[in-house]
Amino acid sequence: MYIRIPGDIIEGQLPKSYAIKKVSVMKITGQEHDVVLEQLSRAAGLLVESMDIRLVPAGGTKFAYALAGARDKNDIAGVHGGIVSQRGKVHAAGSCIYGADEYIGRIVLTAMKFDPRMRCAATIRFFPQVLPVIDNMLLECEAFDPSLEPPGISSMDWGVAFCCKNGVPDICYDEGGRGKEPIIRLFGEKPMDITNNIIMISNRMIDIEL
Enclosing domain of residue 49: 28-204
pLDDT, average across residues 164-177: 94
What is the average pLDDT value for the chain, to the nearest integer? 86
Residue 44 is assigned to a structural domain of this protein: yes
Residue 7 is assigned to a structural domain of this protein: no
Q: What pLDDT digit, counting tens, does each position of 47-92 carry?
A: 999 999 999 999 999 999 999 999 999 999 999 999 999 989 999 9
> How far is it, in rounded angstroms, from Cα 48 to Cα 202?
12
CA distances for 92 relative to 61, 79, 187, angstroms: 9, 7, 20
- How many CA atoms, within 13 angstroms, populate the side-chain half-sphere of residue 130? 26
Q: What pLDDT digit, counting tens, does each position of 117-131 carry?
A: 999 999 999 999 999
**Domain at 115, CATH number:** 3.40.225.10
pLDDT of 173 > 60? The answer is yes
Predicted confidence at residue 2, as pLDDT, reads 29
> How far is it, in rounded angstroms, from Cα 77 to Cα 38?
10
Helices 155-163 and 102-114, packing angle to 10 deg: 30
Where helices occur in 9-154 by DSSP H, the ranges are: 30-50, 102-114, 130-136
What are 58's strand-pairing partners?
none
Whole-structure pTM value: 0.83
Residue 124 is assigned to a structural domain of this protein: yes
Task: Please count the structural domains in the chain.
Answer: 1
Residues with Cβ within 8 Å of residue 144, at least 6 apart in sequence: 158, 159, 162, 163, 172, 174
Residue 9 is assigned to a structural domain of this protein: no
Q: What pLDDT digit, counting tens, does each position of 28-49 carry?
A: 568 899 999 999 999 999 999 9
Residue 43 is assigned to a structural domain of this protein: yes
